[in-house]
Amino acid sequence: MNYIGVNGVPTPAAEAVISVMDHGFMYGIGLFETFRTYGGRPFLLERHLGRLRAGCEALGIRLDLVSGASGAGCIRRQIAELLELNGLTEGYIRVTVTAGEGPLGLPSGDYGEPAAIIYVKPLPEPPASLYSAGKPLWRLGTRRNTPEGEVRFKSLHYMNNVLAKRELTRLEREAGASAFAPHNAAPGEGLLLTAEGWLAEGIVSNLFFVQNGKLYTPDIGTGILPGITRAVVLELTVEGGLEREEGFYAWDRLLEADEVFVTNSIQEIVPVTELVSPGIPAVKVGNGRIGPVTQSLLDKYRQKARNFT
Total number of domains constituting the chain: 2
Same domain for 208 and 104? no
| The pLDDT of residue 183 | 53
Confidence check: pLDDT of 138 > 60: yes
Rounded CA gap, 291 and 103, in Å?
54
Distances from the Cα of 157 to the Cα of 52, 124, 148, angstroms? 15, 25, 9
Domain final residue, candidates 122, 143, 159: 122
Instruction: Check if the beta carbon of residue 157 is closer than 8 Å to that of residue 28.
Output: yes
Mean pLDDT, residues 129-155: 95
Q: Is residue 142 very low, low, confident or very high in pLDDT (cuts 50, 70, 90)? A: very high
For residue 218, give the CATH number of its domain: 3.20.10.10
Same domain for 154 and 63? no
Convert the pLDDT of each residue in 27-51 to its tens digit. 999 999 999 999 999 999 999 999 9
Same domain for 145 and 115? no
Q: Is residue 68 very low, low, confident or very high in pLDDT (cuts 50, 70, 90)? A: low
| The pLDDT of residue 309 | 59
Coil, helix or strand at residue 73: helix
Mean pLDDT, residues 139-146: 97
Same domain for 165 and 245? yes
| The pLDDT of residue 72 | 86
Higher pLDDT, 309 or 106: 106
Higher pLDDT, 182 or 281: 281
Domain final residue, candidates 65, 91, 122: 122
Same domain for 58 and 31? yes
Rounded CA gap, 206 and 192, in Å?
10
Q: Is residue 9 very low, low, confident or very high in pLDDT (cuts 50, 70, 90)? A: very high
Domain final residue, candidates 98, 122, 146: 122
Q: Which of 256, 248, 264, 156 is nearest to 202 (CA)?
A: 264
| Structural domain of 262 | 129-308
Same domain for 68 and 182? no
Convert the pLDDT of each residue in 220-239 to its tens digit. 999 999 999 999 999 999 99
Give the 3-state DSSP-derived string for 240-277, with helices as H, strands as E and coil as C: HCCCEEEECCCHHHHHCCCEEEEEECCCEEEEEEEEEC
Same domain for 248 and 157? yes
Same domain for 108 and 11? yes
Share the mean pLDDT of the chain.
93
Same domain for 118 and 158? no
For residue 118, give the CATH number of its domain: 3.30.470.10
Convert the pLDDT of each residue in 148-193 to its tens digit. 888 999 999 999 999 999 999 999 999 884 545 555 557 899 999 9
| The pLDDT of residue 185 | 59
Query: Residues 290, 186, 154, CA angle at the centre, nearest 5°?
Result: 85
Rounded CA gap, 149 and 226, in Å?
13
Give the 3-state DSSP-derived string for 105-167, with helices as H, strands as E and coil as C: CCCCCCECCCEEEEEEEECCCCCHHHHCCCEEEEEEEEECCCCCCCCCCCECCCHHHHHHHHH
Mean pLDDT, residues 121-135: 94
Same domain for 133 and 112? no
Same domain for 157 and 91? no
Same domain for 268 and 230? yes
